[in-house]
Chains A and B, each alone.
Chain A
Amino acid sequence: MWSDQTGARDMPWLGKGGRAHWYLMDKSKPWDFMNPRGAEIEKRWGSSGRSGTSPYDDAERAMEFLAGLGFLKPWPIYPSETAEGRMVAFPYRVTIVAIQPTVAIVRFDLAGTIEDPIPFGRGAYPPSQYQTYPDQGLGWGKTPNRIMFGTHVVNRGSLLWFCPEANIGPTPLDVSSGRAEIALKDFRLGVERKGDELEVTWRGR
């Protein structure tokens, strides 16, 4: 049985409208009580647990799409190996703002090249997520920091957006006027400056 554990998370938009929810299902078997890894919990996001997708798989697909376009290539690589391969000193923060299809905003941030030390972890997130930021990220081994999600992005650094399902690579997002729009085939996303952060809103076609 899928359990809605969205809580205070700032969840991304769904392409068809409405916000995604965060679902968990305990898939542990009775004999897993000896499993040193603990309970086997499956996570999904979407409009329901059944129709949802794995947030980690979506984040990985999005980043692999960027990598496939050569977007990670210009940046130097750390020597250490992770499960996903060697880590890139990637000077950007990626925030997934919509799913089904995945739309992500890429923000230039030189600090993205270094794993955030714990006392400075929240600085990558918009002020409205300062209380919940540990729940607003998805680990990916090829960048020093997590892939973020939500409908708010820090209003600092130049912006790009991309959508792997629509095969749209990194495209400049100019918010110098205070607002901008991401237009896709079936819906649009508005990006509006609100104080120290940018708010993303869903708009129909």
Chain B
Amino acid sequence: MQAVRCLALLAFAVLAPLAARADQASIDAHNRNCELAAEASKLDRIVVATAQSKLFPDPKFQDRIDYFMYRIRPPAVWDPANPAWAPARTTLIAIARPETLRQLQDYWKQLHPLLIREMESSFQPGEAVAFNEFASSTGGNAYFERRLAELRAKNGEMFYDLEPEAAATLAKRAQEAKKKYDGLPAAEKKRVETFLAGEQCAKCYRPPAVAMEHFITGQSDWLAGVFGSQFESTDYKVVDAWVDAINGKLKATIPGDTKKQILGVLEMRKDSSLAFTLKFYWNNKADGGSLTLQFPKDHPSYKEVAALAPNIAPGARRVLYRDENGIIDDQP
């Protein structure tokens, strides 16, 4: 009995490391497959470009841009209805692009290995093998090249672009990639169509195309959120430089600057009553809401409110300012 136990222990001692080594070898092979597939498909770049494409349609991201717009001038003096708003916003986006590139370049050192690691845990071994086979084929290669080029051309000159290029160059690259794809031999085109149609493979848990799309959607959603947070957290000194640049470029068109506190807008209505409207920060928006204080003609404070904007007439609106000594008037 004792001898049997000794033999069993000996067998375990010899075989366990071998089994572990075999397991490690299969993990290494899976990781290698994922790395090769990512390289061949440029999946990391496709995830970045897809995340970029989700930024501007997202109202939350638009709010983040508006937040910086209200750093140029507060909500009391301008909003999207102001004719100077749209050109200034376009200028801001152009001025902010290099900073988003710097942020992404900095983050890429972590992001690139992170995406590969995510692939390793997202794809089953069989799926990774099949995906790698497809991505490494002539057809797969041309498909991914076209997909990335078309995404980038559609995004145009966009925030968080790792290799920023002019819109015309991006469009040209998309055309070339399409041409290359269209020129594929029929067998390679068939391979792409079969893959994209969700061809199942024997050792796959899901069709590899489904696994791939699931990965791109999940990772790009997450990455778009990261980009949004990074943009929102841009160093205030950098934002100050944007504001200075816009002040320099568009001084003639945007509302005048002031060192005073901007309180809000005083309006005299047609019935000569006064309404003071202030805007406030709410729900992460600089113009998150507004409140209006009404002063009908018989209000005890009517005269002193009207005196803040001398000669205000029915239908007129004046911005009210307050200096550091607390004096309120309508002069910036």
With A75-B293, A79-B282 in contact, do A123 and B305 touch (Cβ < 8 Å)?
Answer: no
Contact A123 B323 (CB under 8 A): yes
Residues of chain A lying within 8 A (CB to CB) of residue B264? 113-114
Contact B291 A76 (CB under 8 A): yes
Closest B residue to A77 by CB, please name it: B291
Chain A stretch 63-83: residues in CB contact (< 8 A) with chain B? 75-80
Contact B328 A111 (CB under 8 A): yes
Chain B stretch 291-332: residues in CB contact (< 8 A) with chain A? 291-293, 300-301, 304-305, 308, 320, 322-328
Residues of chain B lying within 8 A (CB to CB) of residue A76? 291-293
Question: What number of A residues sit within 8 Å (CB to CB) of B?
Answer: 26
Q: DSSP class of A's interface residues: helix, strand, loop or mixed?
A: mixed
Contact B327 A156 (CB under 8 A): yes
Closest B residue to A89 by CB, please name it: B291
With A89-B278, A110-B328, A113-B293 in contact, do A120 and B304 touch (Cβ < 8 Å)?
Answer: no
Confirm or deny: A171 has a beta carbon within 8 angstroms of a beta carbon on chain B: no
Residues of chain A lying within 8 A (CB to CB) of residue B291? 76-78, 89, 113
Confirm or deny: B276 has a beta carbon within 8 angstroms of a beta carbon on chain A: yes
Residues of chain B lying within 8 A (CB to CB) of residue A110? 263, 276, 293, 305, 308, 320, 328
Contact B301 A108 (CB under 8 A): yes
Alpha-carbon distance between A122 and B300 when the two chains are bound, in angstroms: 26
Alpha-carbon distance between A108 and B305 when the two chains are bound, in angstroms: 10
Residues of chain B lying within 8 A (CB to CB) of residue A94? none
Alpha-carbon distance between A91 and B291 when the two chains are bound, in angstroms: 12
Contact B326 A111 (CB under 8 A): yes
Contact B304 A157 (CB under 8 A): yes
Chain A stretch 48-62: residues in CB contact (< 8 A) with chain B? none
Contact A111 B261 (CB under 8 A): yes
- Pick from A78, A80, A109, A113: contact of B326, CB under 8 Å: A109
Residues of chain B lying within 8 A (CB to CB) of residue A104? none
Closest chain A CB from B22 CB (angstroms): 53
Residues of chain B lying within 8 A (CB to CB) of residue A109? 326, 328
17 residue pairs from A and B, CB less than 8 Å apart: A75-B293, A77-B291, A78-B289, A91-B276, A110-B305, A110-B320, A111-B261, A111-B263, A111-B326, A113-B263, A114-B264, A117-B261, A120-B326, A123-B326, A123-B327, A125-B326, A158-B300
Alpha-carbon distance between A117 and B262 when the two chains are bound, in angstroms: 10
Contact A156 B326 (CB under 8 A): yes
Closest A residue to B291 by CB, please name it: A76
Confirm or deny: A119 has a beta carbon within 8 angstroms of a beta carbon on chain B: yes
Contact B278 A80 (CB under 8 A): no
Contact A158 B324 (CB under 8 A): no
Closest B residue to A111 by CB, please name it: B322
Residue in A80, A91, A110, A124 whose Cβ sees the most chain B Cβ within 10 Å: A110
